[in-house]
Amino acid sequence: MPEQRHEKTYDTAAERPSLIQRIRGLLMFVDLPIKKKFLLFAGSTLLWFCLMATVTVVSMTSIHYKYYQVSEHIVPYRQAIDSALATLNDLDRTLRQIQETQVSQDSPGFGGARKQVEAIRATITELSLRQTSLPAKGTIVEQILQNMSKANPEGLQYLQNMLALTDRIDQTLDVFLQKKRQLLSNSGVTRESQAASFLAIRGQVAEAIALSTKHAERISTTYKTTKEELYETIRNSVHTILLLLIFASLLLALFTHWIIVAFYKPIKKITNQIESLSTGDIDLAKKVSISARDEIGTLSRKFNCLMESVHSMTIYKKVIEEDTSLEEVYHRLGEVFSNDLEIEQYTIYEVNTQIKEMHAAYPPLVGDVRLHCHDDILTDCNLCRAVKTGHNISSFAFSGICRYFLPEEGIGHVCVPMMLGGNTGGVVQFRFQLSTHSSSLSSNAAAQLFKAETYINQSLSVIEAKRLMQTLQDSALIDPLTGLYNRRFLQEHTKQIITGVLRRGKQIGLLVCDLDYFKQVNDTHGHDIGDLMLKETSAILKSSVRDADLVIRFGGEEFLVLLLDLEPEAALLVAEKIRVKMDQFRLRVGDTVLQKSISIGVSEFPLDTDGFWQAIKYADVALYQAKDSGRNRVVRFTPDMWKHGDF
């Protein structure tokens, strides 16, 4: 897989670093990806190793060079000069003995003097050969050091002078010994001539001693200087290596601190947050501080985003749990889609599997807003593929997968079912733009859909609980036989109904309806036919009024109709409409056709009275007036009908 490119992203402008922070981040490697951090760490470590190795090699080479100077030049010179000086002194004593004593020609002194001269020549020659033709041996470094240390002009000059002086001493010694022999054999050599040759040879020996002594002093000075330089090189090498070790250790400690700051602390904070998540003891609004802009910083930002999402969902779920109705929950969920997730096109459908219907719960269908599915799904929810399968239905995965989706140019859909208690309790339809290059969802749309499904899943338990509560509430407020609201509903919602009507300055038309001679149906045809008649009557009442009006089964065969926001005296028209419909209704029971009329009493609130329950009582009084005057009629309440004083 190709290496992922590290990108620096900042959530807000406040997180964007200043110039000083950028420079500091560069020096502390904060801006570098983790891989480059460790490569830089490895490279710097290798650099320090190389630097320390170089210092060590240079130091050891310098020490080796000084040591080689001492061992191959200074010490051999010193040994050779000491040997030459000792031999020269012996030669001087031998010459004086020969000069002062009357020895024979066969005396050992004659041969000893010549051997001493030869010993001096051998010593100087050996040193000269050693200094001028040292064999190259050892490593390349040692050979280079040997070649560097051969250049010793003063030592070579001394050797040349000593060899020349030794030759002269040898020649002069021959002359001196010959004259000494001749003097001993009385061969015509004068003492003055022999004394002159003695002085000449002694002068040359003294010159050689002086030359060697001077060079020995120079060698001693060089030895002392070289020894001090050697000690100084060792001290400097030790100090330099120690300083490098200390500096490298400080840098290592500093980089270790940076690693702890960049890696350990954020990871530890994230770990603590995750552990807190498992125990539930966590402040979801608390973010992990971001100090690095590498992969750890990216991880911290992603974790903060995750915590924000969890926090948002937690708050969202708590809010919808406190909402009073399903409509509020759907509205809240739609706001999340629109505002937080920036999904522009969606529809939330609520499904009623018992009656196999579904309707658009949010956004409401007002004005020219239309469904993006065929209207048939509203009356038969099983036509909806998401309801039938309980799976996500996506036209991006398979074009034209749902035949009831109304295709629109450049628009695809994803339908997500809301599973409640093992059944599809709703469907959320999302609509996204089709890509010009691919038929699949874009990465942005896929991310939006994933978050939307997460919010939907968070809402399911609340929606199921709200629907269950609504079902329980409906069962308590709705008459099970007719499906109309019951007296309890009226008692619980009276204040809400009255407040709205009074605020709008309108009237409530109150119709108290009662079937005429209904007891005969039960007595003659049985309660089953009586129940059927009540159901049909309920249907006639509901079809005769608006959706905003309320039809309530008040008890037995008595019904109460609340006509909301009605103009004065308009209630009579509605009541007459109901009476006519009921009078025209026929119910066939076997070979018998039943026909029942209805009597209706009418009053208006607050036109007749400012007491709502008093207005109902007035309508009931008008109903009894209709019964007493022959039934199958509508009677409007008038004040003269009330004979009981104050209500």
Q: Number of C-alpha atoms within 13 angstroms, CB side, residue 393?
A: 21
For all residues of the chain together, what is the average pLDDT? 82
Domain covering 323-474: architecture: 2-Layer Sandwich (3.30)
For residues 445 and 343, give the distance between their C-alpha atoms in angstroms, rounded to a whole number. 8
What's the full length of the chain, in residues? Answer: 647
pLDDT digits (tens, 9 = 90+) for 502-524: 888 889 999 999 999 999 998 88
> What type of residue is 337?
F
Burial class (CB in 10 A: 0-12, 13-18, 19+), 499: exposed
Q: Where does CATH 3.30.70.270 sit in the chain?
A: 478-641
Distance CA 486, CA 492 (A): 10
Q: How far is CA 426 from the centre of its chain?
A: 36
Its sign, for the CA torsion 335, 337, 338, 342, is positive
Q: Nearest 5°: CA angle at 2, between 7 and 442? A: 65
Pick the CATH number of 61-242 from 3.30.70, 1.10.760, 2.40.160, 1.20.120: 1.20.120
Query: How high is the pLDDT of residue 623?
Result: 95
β-bridge mates for residue 599, sequence order: 514
Q: Could you identify the residue written with the tokens 């690693």? A: 259
Residue 367 has pLDDT above 90, yes or no: no
Least reliable range by pLDDT among 145-149, 228-232, 271-275, 291-295: 145-149
**Out of 1-5, 312-316, 602-606, which region has the weakest mean confidence (pLDDT)?**
1-5
Q: Is 198 helix (H, G, I), strand (E, B) or coil?
A: helix
Give the burial string for 235-245 (b: 16+ CB within 10 Å, else e): eebeebeeebe
What phi and psi, each to the nearest 5 degrees, are found at residue 554? -85, -20
pLDDT in the model for residue 3: 40
For residue 66, pLDDT over 80 is answered with no
Q: Where are the alpha helices (DSSP H) in 323-400?
A: 326-335, 376-379, 385-389
Task: Quote the radius of gyration of the chain (alpha carbons, Å).
Answer: 61
Numbered ranges of CATH 3.30.450.40 in the chain: 323-474
Architecture of domain 478-641: 2-Layer Sandwich (3.30)
Mean pLDDT value across residues 446-471: 86
pLDDT in tens, 105-133: 555 667 788 888 888 888 888 877 776 66
Per-residue pLDDT tens for 543-594?
A: 999 988 999 998 889 999 999 988 888 899 999 999 999 999 999 888 888 8
Nearest to 349 by CA among 332, 328, 371: 371
d(Cα 115, Cα 138) in Å, to the nearest integer?
37
In which residue are the tokens 């008459």 written? 479
Bridge partner residues of 405 (DSSP): 373
Residues of the chain with CATH 1.20.120: 61-242
